[in-house]
Amino acid sequence: MTPPLRIALYQGPPGVPSSTGETLGALAGAARRAAGAGARLLLTNELYLTGYALGSDVVDRAEAADGPGAAAVAALAEEHGLAIGYGYPERDGTAVYNSFQLIAPDGARLAHYRKTHLFGDFEGAYFTPGDEAVVQADFEGVRLGVLICYDVEFPEPVRAHALAGTELLLVPTALMRPYEIVPQTIVPARAWESQLYIAYANRCGTEGEFTFAGLSALAAPDGTVRARAGAGEDLIIADVDPALLTASRAENTYLSDRRPELYGALG
């Protein structure tokens, strides 16, 4: 049986950073603490490199998937010997995407995902929605999947991941108040109904008109929350246990009891 995968979720730093140097410095500290706690994977939040409430500045701060931010994160992953997942605004030609990259401990890219469900006026004005629903990677015997923030609030993307074999769903997030119902209720429900782990890493603090809710969490398929952050800057550590997932799927047979022939008209 695959041993548990220890992961860290970094909720911070608060506020819009003055530069990517500021967030990379905070990431170096979080990576050092995560590695010291035995974590093999560190997840940060949505648009981690630049901050979220950027307005039109997001266009100027966007960079290519293989840009300087990616190189800096890869160096940190190699230095601390752990995988790092981070959000950033991606420029591809004239389009800007709300994107996420997962970098392996050797600095190679494991996964890249573009947010498919854009939220609110800011995202709708400056980002192009992605068109790939299920992005996965295998890491230390665990099949990882990726969604970003608003994506996880729809049951369909999460169920699509479960049916594709995702065991741990990484969800970098920028959830504002007063929507605390999402980390407190919806995310654990998604983990339960689709029988997978969900790592939900949120922003914290205030950026412009937005006050972020924090409450980052690792939700397990048995309906429990294995770790939970507060409202401020935090680093939480928890284990993803494949044995628990196997036992939970044997006990809760939602996935095998589905009758997809009845659901086709719902699309």
Q: Is 167 a catalytic residue?
A: no
Cα–Cα distance measured from residue 244 to residue 125, given in angstroms and rounded to the nearest whole number: 42
Distances (CA, A) of 190 to 80, 87, 111, 138: 32, 22, 22, 21
- Burial zone of 129 (CB within 10 Å; 0-12 exposed, 13-18 middle, 19+ buried): middle
Q: Is 156 a catalytic residue?
A: no
Q: Is 46 a catalytic residue?
A: yes
Whether the CA torsion 183, 170, 6, 241 is positive or negative: it is positive
Catalytic residue, candidates 63, 90, 115, 167? 115
C-alpha closest to that of 198 among 161, 229, 250: 161
Residue 108 in tokens: 């190679």
Catalytic residue, candidates 46, 63, 153, 167? 46
Catalytic residue, candidates 90, 149, 167, 204? 149
β-strand partners of 131: none
Residue 182 in tokens: 């999402």
Distances (CA, A) of 261 to 161, 257, 264, 267: 19, 12, 6, 12
Report the catalytic residues.
46, 115, 149
